[in-house]
Amino acid sequence: MLKIVYPICCGLDVHKDFVYACIATTVNNVTTYKSHRFSTFTKGLRELLSWLLTNNCKDVCMESTGKYWIPVYNILETDCKIVLAHPKYVKAIRGKKTDKKDAKWIADIFKHDLVSGSFIPPADIRQLRDLVRYHTKLTNFTTGEKNRAQNCLTVSNLKLDSVFSDVFGKASSNIIGHILANPSEKISDVSAFRTKHMKATDEEIIEAVDGYFCPEQAEKLRIIREHMSNLDLCKLNLQSLILSTAEKFISEIDLLCTIPGISTFSAISVIGEIGVDMSVFPTSKHLCSWAGLTPQNDQSAGKKKTTRISRAGVYIKPLLVQCALAALKSKDKHPEIYSRYCALKKRRGHKKAIIAIARTLLTAIYNILKKKEPYKSELYAHSYDTPPEHRAVSVKEAIFILQRQGYIVTPCAT
């Protein structure tokens, strides 16, 4: 018989407009159930809290259903111990599934402590996380608008991307603005648009702008450019709000900035995702698994089926990959990172090596936040950082090595 860990607990089945609650009370291995339906308006959620406290129930488990669990969590957070479960851990049996039965099923498996809770950071970290994720979305919007602007140039026979490394740089933007302001005028002199670091010649630029904007594409490009300007202004305002919200974590941000590849804003983004209290993760391996940087365990009959990383960490994983790519550029200052990347790239390729470097950075982040110490490069140096010693090989081994490299070895006449 399974052990009863929570004699009095509650399972919640959360929906948009209502929530089903089922309290499971176990006395002498006999469980009785009490169910009730509540509205998800604030008044109804306060009634839910009062109903739980009246029945002496402070252990609650609920499924993470979209964003609908957040209002419930906000009301119950201060007075109850809440376990927020991934849907795959509390999925009911198919064919025996109703809202009322779902709540009872969640209570049944939760009373035996069979549900793994998700990581929910404190309220101040949740607010910072929301702002940082919105900043990521605005960046994605800007990238989408740049792609649409590039499409407008391509269909209008303007090949600025072939002569400029950045189509949205100063020189290229001035040329596009001039063409939009004077659509019927052909550009014959580009000396007024030249900047200090331009590599393209005047002839190449004149050939690249030898196109024509139709009225529809010209107006579309004007709208895109205006939208991009508004997005840049919104991002600046949001960045100031993020910086003011993150002021209370300034000491942790300074520590994280000692890690190679991590800037101030990257450190704020990392703290917004994982917080500053590392006691919620037993080890750094648990944190890496939560972030989706650990190979899967998928083995059956002694055979490994796949070792792909999971889809978890949709925000923190791309961020750490960008930090890993930035860390590789400082190979002279941080050779331990570059050496590890080169050693892994030879065997596993670029993509898996970058994921490994991202996991190394997250492991460093975990230890730094836990120990409150700056980054120490010597802790991450390995044996492959030093060149291997030369060893003596026999004639037979030397012939085998040459044959493996594709050489044909013939015995010499004596």
Domains and CATH numbers, the chain: 8-111 (3.30.420.10), 124-246 (1.10.287), 249-385 (no CATH)
| Token pair for 116 | 């793994």
Q: Which two tokens stand for residue 411?
A: 């015995």
pLDDT by residue (tens digit) across 217-232? 999 999 999 999 999 9
Q: What would the pLDDT profile of 250-304 be if each residue is shown by its tens digit?
A: 999 999 999 999 999 999 999 999 999 999 999 999 999 999 999 888 888 878 8
Q: Is the dihedral of CA 235, 237, 238, 243 positive or negative?
A: positive
User: 36 in the Ramachandran plot: left (φ > 0), alpha (ψ -120 to 50) or beta?
Assistant: beta
pTM equals 0.84
Task: Give the mean model confidence (pLDDT) for residues 355-363.
Answer: 95
pLDDT at 202: 87
Pairing mode, strands 81-85 and 59-63: parallel
For 58, list phi and psi in degrees, rounded to 5.
-125, 0
How many helices (H) does the chain have, and how many strands (E)?
14, 7
At 414, the pLDDT band (50, 70, 90 cuts) reads low
| pLDDT on residue 384 | 53
- H/E run at residue 194: none
Q: What percent of the chain has pLDDT over 90?
A: 61
> How large is the average pLDDT for residues 350-354?
94
Q: Considering the chain, what percentage of its residues have pLDDT values greater than 70?
A: 97
pLDDT for residue 389: 62
Whether residue 392 is predicted with pLDDT greater than 90 in this model: the reply is: no
- Mean pLDDT, the chain, rounded, equals 90
pLDDT at 69 over 80: yes
- Give the model confidence (pLDDT) of 367-384 as tens digits: 999 999 999 888 877 655
Biggest CA–CA distance in the chain, Å, is 100
